[in-house]
Amino acid sequence: MYNKDNKNNPDKNINYEEEGVYYTPSENTKNINSIKSFEDFENFNNNSKKKNTAKRTPKKIPPKKSTYPIFMSVAIGFGIVAFISLFIIMHNTFKSEKSSIKAPENYVYEPTTEMYTYTETIKEENVLAGEEYMGVIRLKSETLDNVTIYNITANENADYKITGSTELRDEYGKTLVIEEFAEGDVISFIYDDNNNLTVLKKTNKGFKETLKNGFKISRDNMTISAGMKTYSYSEMTKFIYRGDEFDPSLLDSTVDIITISGYDDKIWSVTLNKGHGEIEIIKNDKIKDGIIEIDTNIYKKLSDADTIKLNEGAHKIVVKGSNIDSFTKDIGLTVNEKYILDLSAIKIRKGKVKIRPNVTDFALYINGNLELSRDPLELEYGSYDIEIVKSGYVTYTNRFTVNSPEKTITPRLTEEVLIGTLTVTSNPVGATLLIDGVSVGTTPYKGDISQGEHSITLKKDGYKDTTIGSIYISDQESMYNVDLQKEQI
């Protein structure tokens, strides 16, 4: 409305200066003060229509810069601050109500297996639903709708439900099914007020490492070392093989392959990827130059091999020797199995041996045993002692080796010579003695000589040669004394 006290501003609710317009009232507008009644208004309106009075254009002045953007920015800022303040107040109120619920001072975890019993003390801190925690899966129910989780953060064990709305993911966010989670897995999880898991996720915040043969395990110190890194384990650590727990004393670091997983430097699960068994070898002492080969990485002398530890699984065993055909055996070894490898049944190669001595009607002994068979002998590859006996002949002894399918031996026997003793003296002494024309020394002489008929001759300078053309040597000592005669001058 028009304000009498502000004639230059007929409507104070409009700021024409902000709009960039300066308002100047017209002449007709100035006379509006003369209107006292409705009739005056009608007359005034009619008179205004009759007059040809065009509106005067208001004078414009340069517009001022608008403050609207600044105003909006300030308003939005105040709104955000107010929203955050309200959220903090409501959250603290909710947390205060929840913190009034105290956890029991002692929590006893019922054993999930016959191996361990867990008794843990909950830390003095609030454990709230809706927050994310680090944990280890201790047990999955057979129906896969319930899991027991050890909360690393709160140091407690608790059971949680798997529902249709539970998010099951790997460390990269990929969707999983509950079967892909294993007991001993280090996970992160979130649960609600009803102990329903809202999120169950494999985490990359822990460690997971596969150790092949060469790691070290100390059962006294309860540590596992690999290189320069040493990890500790406890009675709560799960040692798992194909879903079942096993005693860590069964591990052999020289052959086993394991995967350890945990958090910080503490191991929460040890998975046996490949365990081991043993091969016990029953040897065949007849195998010569024997070696045993297993797969492509084990090569041992058979004499040095008694028990060999191998990873579980399929293996190819090859036994070789200079007197056998190659023996091959494929086996499947299971964890903690002791496989008996009996080599005593391996057949030794045989060769046919023909023995052709220079006599007949002889007795043949092989390795001290009388052989009644003659032609040929079938003998296993190897070395043998041979003995041939015949009356009137010197016994033949020797050693031969069978290393081929066929072999011929030609022993040569010599006639047996009976020995007697011959004593020859001369007068004078010092005569040269020849027996059967062969010089054997000077007189006096005593020596062995074959039994039978012989001739002896004595020679000495200045004396005639003296020959006894026929002497007979028996098993008794034969004695001869010869007087030498001087030569005639």
Ordered by start, the domain boundaries in the chain are 16-60, 106-202, 207-274, 276-342, 350-409, 419-483
Q: What number does CATH give the domain 276-342?
A: 2.60.40
Least confident of 157-161, 229-233, 484-488: 484-488
Provide the 10 A C-beta neighbour count for residue 402.
Answer: 23
CATH of 207-274, one of 3.90.320, 2.40.50, 2.20.28, 2.40.30: 2.40.50
From the list 413, 417, 418, the residue with the least C-alpha distance to 360 is: 413
* Per-residue model confidence (pLDDT) at position 243: 81
In this prediction, residue 227 has a pLDDT band, given cuts at 50, 70 and 90, of confident
In this prediction, residue 66 has a pLDDT band, given cuts at 50, 70 and 90, of low
pLDDT tens by residue, 438-471: 999 999 999 999 999 999 999 999 999 999 999 9
Q: How far apart are CA 438 and CA 436, in angstroms?
A: 6
Least confident of 120-124, 187-191, 194-198, 357-361: 120-124
> Cβ distance 283 to 302 under 8 Å?
yes
In this prediction, residue 123 has a pLDDT band, given cuts at 50, 70 and 90, of very low
Q: How far apart are CA 50 and CA 349, in angstroms?
A: 147
Quick check: 48 pLDDT over 60?
Answer: no
Q: How far apart are CA 149 and CA 138, in angstroms?
A: 5
Quick check: 316 pLDDT over 80?
Answer: yes
The CA-based dihedral angle spanning residues 250, 253, 257, 263, taken in that order and rounded to the nearest 10 degrees: 90
Q: Which fold has domain 419-483?
A: Immunoglobulin-like (2.60.40)
Quick check: 215 pLDDT over 50?
Answer: yes
Quick check: 97 pLDDT over 50?
Answer: no
* Per-residue model confidence (pLDDT) at position 93: 55
Same-fold call for 276-342 versus 419-483: yes
The CATH superfamily assigned to 106-202 is Copper binding periplasmic protein CusF (2.40.50.320)
pTM metric for this prediction? 0.52
> Cβ distance 208 to 215 under 8 Å?
no
Angstrom distances, CA of residue 366 to CA of 286, 309, 350, 355, 373: 16, 41, 15, 11, 11
φ/ψ (deg, to 5) at 116: -125, 155
